Amino acid sequence: MTRTTTTTRTTPAIGAAMTRIEGPDKVRGSATYAYEYPLDAVAYCCAVGSTIAHGRVRSTSADAIRQIPGVLEVLSHANAPRLAISDGSELAVLQSDRVAYRRQIVAAVVAESFEIATEAAGALEIEYDVEPFAVELKSDDPDLYRPDKVNPGFPTDTEAGDVDGALRSAAHVVDHTYRTPAYHNNPMEPHASIAVWEGDDLTVFDSNQGASPVRARLAELFGLPTGSVRVVSEHVGGGFGAKGLPRPVVVLAAMAARVVDRPVKIAVTREQMFAFVGYRTPTIQRVQLGADAGGRITAIAHDVIEQTSTIEEFAEQTAVATRMMYAGASRRTTHRLRRLDVPTPGWMRAPGECPGMFALESAVDELAIATRLDPIELRLRNDPPTDPETGAPFTSRNLEACLREGARLFGWSQRHAEPRARRDGRWLVGTGVAASTYPARARASKATAWARPDGSFDVELCAADIGTGARTALTQIAADALGAEPRRVRLGLGDTNFSEAPLAGGSMGTSSWGWAVTRACEGLRARLAAANGSVPVAGLAVEVDTKDEIERRAQRPAHAFGAQFAEVRVDEDTGEIRVARLLGVFAAGRIVNPMTARSQLIGGMTMGISMALLEASLLDREYGDYLNHDLAQYEIATCADVPMVEAHWIDERDDFVNPMGAKGVGEIGIVGTAAAIANATYNATGVRVRDLPIRLEKLIG
């Protein structure tokens, strides 16, 4: 037995601006990503996408391709291993001859090298039986339908009061349609996997946002016990939601490795990132607001139209934020879908809230103009003390503080309310504001904390650090719970050999994992105290599961809030638009690490600039495909587009949401940004753009 001690820190680790633990490894290039694990006798797989949008595969030139030196196998629906699923999912890879959308995986080549696999895949000839297709989302489509629920499990529609009657009697009414295009997640690291079979045991090195759910799905698909599957995802180069669930590539890697009986690696090309790994659905949103003479909202209606695929349903929760954002006795939200011959949409940073709040916050700005109220004052008059739908109190709601502090920092009092009132030479200058919100969630997680004889601690759980700084934040949380210095804590994550944990998504990663880490470390500290600091040579471990504690906690509405302020400059002659300043103030609970939190918030707002001014996936209606499927044509904000972005937060600690009092900051930064920029553009030019992105032809037409 050896003796170890915990020392009560005089300065908490939580709240310190601690640099990323893995930063040096990433700078040196020693941080290993999914595609980089060194394995002997590895083969390479290249996926082949369909060249039609709807129909059947009639034949392939597989036999000819197999004769190419270095080609190991050609997979298609005719010879691929059978999965425990045949249809109804994007993961039913090569299980049918049906083609549901253009560039769906219809074949794959496995070869000795990446170059051979790529060349052979390009030479593979596939013949199709082509069928008519539909790819365009229309508001008057007769095939729109009502889904049973919207992501992740919200009611599809809600209604209270007499919305139509309240709109007819309102002193002021706004009734407009807002549109957002399809957006494609483009993390720096594309999806990649290496699969290795040892008998009936499968190991996968995969780029994902949650190794535990990937393991569970792979076990189901291949008919294996969960314990026979190991998923390793130690470092991930971004995800933005696209890696939140297993994608076809990880299934294809496992299938190919099974067939050739050796390790197989596959990486999605940038072009394929626009095909079968998810995207944000385009939306058509009608927002109706009615207000009395004093600017108090009496009616809210938010009706949304979106698309899904013909093989799997995904309904984004676009109008859900409207249900709790502002007071109003009469309220209605609806969601309608159209099944099209397109890939299945999925999560992208702040699904639902991001496109939905663009429409709502644009409409609120238009209502402020109609009522001749300052946009901040209008929001404050309609800031509800309790949840407007349920009447339940919020765990905390500091939207007012965000608006007021943001106005002070931004210099809102100097704003000109009338459009085109401020100019700098030929540049028209305008300012705008929008509110933002995102749910504060937590899901059950497990974690294990170890005391080592040398006085160090290991904390292990299958969490994911997708570039957000989760390793560092969890180390800080563990250090405080142990009463130890952070340098004495080693964190293990991204491996299903560790304790099971939920995915990184929904701004709930740190909340969920930190909860489990806190309880595991508290339990270990108590055991050490009871043992008077004695530690066996093998170490002393405590594993916890927060499931029961989370379920016992009473349910109340828990949300983070924020306010984004934008200043834009528009060239009066050319319509060129520039964001000169962007400032956000947020109430997101206790900030675990100011350095990484600020990075997340600024990153979200930067993506919001892209959404407002640049991003759009352009559909080719003739071929049913997206035209701009690379980063040369799919435009995102670069350093030149982001001159000044500031993120601040309110001093808030919400002990109801989790033991750390933190709410999560990964997604709220993007939520209100596009609306703030659109509102500022109207203030500068007097032109209201309701269909994103805001481009010069929409300002000078």
Alpha-carbon span 444 to 197, nearest angstrom: 30
Burial class (CB in 10 A: 0-12, 13-18, 19+), 634: buried
Contact 618, 572 (CB under 8 A): no
The values of phi and psi at residue 470, to 5°, are: -60, -40
- Mapping DSSP to helix (H, G, I), strand (E, B) and coil, where does residue 306 land? strand
* Beta carbons within 10 angstroms of residue 595's beta carbon: 14
Alpha-carbon span 517 to 502, nearest angstrom: 13
Angle at alpha carbon of residue 45, lines to 44 and 48, rounded to 5°: 150
Measured between alpha carbons, how far is residue 613 from residues 230, 273, 423, 428, 616 in Å? 42, 21, 20, 16, 9
The verdict on whether 90 is a catalytic residue reads: no
Contact 54, 119 (CB under 8 A): no
Contact 566, 613 (CB under 8 A): no
Burial class (CB in 10 A: 0-12, 13-18, 19+), 106: buried
Q: Are strands 297-309 and 330-340 parallel, antiparallel or unpaired?
A: parallel
Angle at alpha carbon of residue 500, lines to 449 and 24, rounded to 5°: 65
One-letter amino acid for residue 621 of the chain: R
Q: If we measure between CA atoms, which residue out of 256, 251, 257, 275 comes closest to residue 91?
A: 251
Contact 590, 662 (CB under 8 A): yes
The partner residues of 601 in beta bridges, in order of sequence, read none
Element containing residue 157 per DSSP (H, E): none
- Joined tokens for residue 526: 């108590």
- The torsion defined by the Cα of 50, 52, 57 and 59, in degrees rounded to 10, comes to -80
- Joined tokens for residue 666: 């990964």
Alpha-carbon span 482 to 144, nearest angstrom: 55
Instruction: List, in sequence order, the alpha helices (H) in 261-398.
Output: 322-325, 353-371, 375-381
Instruction: List, in sequence order, the alpha helices (H) in 171-325.
Output: 211-221, 248-260, 322-325
Which DSSP string do the residues of 564-584 spell out, in sequence order?
A: EEEEEEEETTT--EEEEEEEE
Element containing residue 319 per DSSP (H, E): none
Burial class (CB in 10 A: 0-12, 13-18, 19+), 13: buried
* Beta carbons within 10 angstroms of residue 229's beta carbon: 24
Q: If we measure between CA atoms, which residue out of 45, 435, 469 comes closest to residue 249?
A: 45
Q: How many CA atoms lie within 13 A of 587 on its CB side?
A: 24
Q: If we measure between CA atoms, which residue out of 426, 289, 275, 437 comes closest to residue 346?
A: 275
Q: Which of 73, 90, 189, 667 is catalytic?
A: 667
Residue positions annotated with a catalytic role: 667
